[in-house]
Amino acid sequence: MALFDCACQARSGHARALSYETAHGSFHTPMFMPVGTSASVKGVTTGQLRELDAQVVLANTYHLSLRPGADVVAEAGGVHRFMNYDGPMLTDSGGFQVFSLADTLKLDDEGLTFRSIYDGTKVRWTPESNMAIQEQLGADIAMQLDQCTPYPAERSFVAKAVDLSANWARRCLAAHQRPDQTLFGIVQGGMELDLRLESVRRLREVEDESLAAGGRRFGGFGIGGYSVGEEHDVMFETLGQVARALPEDRPRYLMGVGNPTTLVRAVREGVDMFDCVLPTRTARMGTAFSSTGRMNMRNAKFTRDFGPLDAACTCPTCQNHSRAYIRHLVKQNEMLGGILLSVHNLHYLIDLMRRAREAVLADAYEEFYQAWMASPAAKDY
């Protein structure tokens, strides 16, 4: 396969099994991406990520551009060399962080101005400068700069964000030049189906204009603006139609979603890629995913439970440590407790998507889905 080629190896209903080629190897969907916000997946080494069969690792443009700075990462040889990870990587644009963290944000048609959460320095981003930063970071996949809307939000506000994001998509695609890096466009539109479909239409229009002018196309598409406070069922009222409105020949990436059951449901609707801090954040709080449902490892019932964390799991944590030991670590606020649970939770989601892919390849995804939904593991996380 050539660089950024995407091949659909199987379908099962709307679920898909894709292979996608990058400069740092190929990845296969459905898949879950661990989040390494500051070029580090919290509590997990790059060696452990390889052992977990993580296919793509996500890093954050907002945080890396502020600390240590994109120039420092570039001087190190790019984000892969900086963190010593040789697999495919993706950087989000940082737009979500700007809109959610920056109380002093000033937004206009040309770009946005905000203050660093680290030292209060005023920072100005345009679509063009954001592309330059992501090219310096050097991940295999960059994301366009967009405006992510909160929930709930007035329809007029969401409509303006769709228009702004489409205009910025055009500028990002025109500015993005790095040949060993591809750019994904992002769908916005809140919970409004017509605005979501308008966002898809605008992205297709942007791409057609670029190709007509001899420019590049999007390497895939993010679906942003979900999982921002709405109930999961609210998201699923529109997600499937939005995903299937996107081009069939490239990946569809549901951004910021890591609930196990949501992943299983979204794959059924035609989504291919996912990322979220949920598995590591909940691990640091003492929560474990399991085949029998969520487990709070602070619970006293685990005090003398010397069995594995999850008897159905093959991760290093479950193969080597008991529930009693992990509860002890968590109760003592030992760093190792969060590390062991992070390794387990990441393995859980990565393996869940591996099994989802196997079901698609066997044209048995509906059976996989029904079995999951009937299992205790399907409890809402």
Domain assignments of the chain as residue spans, ordered by start: 6-276, 284-378
Q: How confident is the model at residue 102 (pLDDT cuts 50, 70, 90)?
A: low
User: Which is catalytic among the residues 140, 146, 275, 310?
Assistant: 275
Q: How confident is the model at residue 262 (pLDDT cuts 50, 70, 90)?
A: very high
Only one residue has tokens 């590390």, namely 339
| Whole-number average pLDDT of the chain | 97
CB 64 within 8 A of CB 82: no
Q: What 3-state class would DSSP assign to 322?
A: strand
Ramachandran class of 363: left when φ > 0, alpha when ψ lies in -120 to 50, beta otherwise: left
Q: What is the pLDDT of residues 134-166, one digit of tens each?
A: 999 999 999 999 999 999 999 999 999 999 999
Q: Shortest CA distance to 89 belongs to which of 40, 30, 18, 125?
A: 40
Structure tokens at 214: 């001899």
Active site residue 92: yes
Least confident window among 164-173, 294-303, 357-366, 372-381: 372-381
Fold of the domain spanning 6-276: TIM Barrel (3.20.20)
Q: Which residues of 166-200 are buried (b: 16+ CB within 10 A; e: fewer)?
A: bebbbbbbbbbeeeebbbbbbbbbbbbeebbbbbb
Active site residue 249: no
- For residue 104, the model assigns a pLDDT of 81
pLDDT at 293 over 80: yes
CB 42 within 8 A of CB 284: yes
User: Which is catalytic among the residues 71, 92, 249, 380?
Assistant: 92
pLDDT at 380 over 80: no
> Per-residue pLDDT averaged across 214-236, rounded?
97
Only one residue has tokens 């390794």, namely 343
Q: What is the pLDDT of residues 6-62, one digit of tens each?
A: 999 999 999 999 999 999 999 999 999 999 999 999 999 999 999 999 999 999 999
CA dist 283 → 191, 195, 228, 298, 343 (Å): 30, 36, 21, 11, 9
> Per-residue pLDDT averaged across 71-81, rounded?
99
